[in-house]
Chain A
């Protein structure tokens, strides 16, 4: 049985204590008071711009994560995220780092096979290569239809995991945190300290059109010449 680390030791408790207060508009206004007084807030506005053309990409296919203990990481994603181990691969050479060997495990979500590959690296002396937290801020998994991050928070806390932020809706509606996206998000650190988001109910381009019609962000009130063009 793999050892499971429910809480990474390096997690900042300070910001975690403050972050629930971001639901309160007064707290957000106090934090942003210097930028409000100097006028920077308006020229660097947190803002939705709208999307009106198709892109060349359909969806994310797979994300890799470096881990320091493959068994421990697999156990975390099985237990906390409900992913299923699809297979372990035979060790293979690192494609860009000669002498480093990769031990990979592919995991599937309920609607997306092998969407996550966990990779334990070993150097030429067969020592595990350390991971970092300076590649991405977070990666995000969408929950199955009908499931919520409120229920997931209860489930994670009952298992002893530490929810670092949320559940909170990323918008300016009452109870929201003033961010963009509309997703009701929950953040938790995995066994290697990677920041993982789970969410449901993200805004779509149709939501934007219902609110603003065909007006692009630059055509709505609040846009300034200092704002980059959409």
Chain B
């Protein structure tokens, strides 16, 4: 790919939006089952140290999941050298697609799994759009998820 042909000349380059998060999990199978069952996320790719040189260098194993448009929106990572903790981020949030997963249906799924749900946003200072509802709960790794419906 010719880099020179791709360089934009339209002012300072800047981020347009947050697109994906690649976070550590303790058990890939358990986490994959949670995200696929609760959110209907679609497994889209796997990168493994046995078949990826970059993964070999980083010791990461990655399972990618798509929301339905991009190749990946969420990626689960295991790394034998990383002891997961909760001092890097407090939570991340996801906006539900009301046509495919209404908030009421999500509540039902979480209740069936015995997941304790807290009402509202994680942060009191968080601004919600008019008519928007929020809940938050932990995933199997203790990562807090905020879901907007």
Binding site for B on A (CB under 8 A): 15, 18-19, 22, 27-28, 31-32, 35, 40-66, 81-83, 89-90, 92, 95-96, 102, 104, 106, 109-112, 114-117, 119, 129-148, 150-152, 154-155, 167, 169, 173-175, 177-184, 194, 198-199, 202-205, 207-208, 227-228, 230
Q: A32-B53, A133-B88, A144-B16 are in contact. Are A179 and B67 (CB under 8 A)?
A: no
CB distance from B11 to the nearest CB of A (A): 9
CB-CB under 8 A from A228, the residues of chain B are 43, 46
Q: Which 9 A-B pairs have the closest CB atoms?
A: A82-B14, A56-B101, A135-B88, A89-B125, A141-B15, A61-B93, A112-B17, A44-B50, A28-B53
CB-CB under 8 A from A203, the residues of chain B are 70-71
- CB of A141 within 8 A of CB of B16, answer yes
- CB of A179 within 8 A of CB of B46, answer no
* Number of interface residues, chain B, beta carbon within 8 A: 87
CB-CB under 8 A from A139, the residues of chain B are 18, 20-22
CB-CB under 8 A from B123, the residues of chain A are 64, 89, 92, 95, 102, 104, 117
CB-CB under 8 A from B39, the residues of chain A are 55-57
Among residues of A, the one whose C-beta sits closest to the C-beta of B82 is A134
0 or 1 for each of B68-99: is its CB under 8 Å from A? (1 = yes): 11111111010100111111111111111101
Cα distance, A140 to B47, chains bound together (Å): 17
- CB of B87 within 8 A of CB of A129, answer yes
B7: interface (CB < 8 Å): yes
- CB of A135 within 8 A of CB of B23, answer yes
Among A92, A102, A135, contact of B84 (Cβ-Cβ < 8 Å): A135
Cα distance, A22 to B92, chains bound together (Å): 31
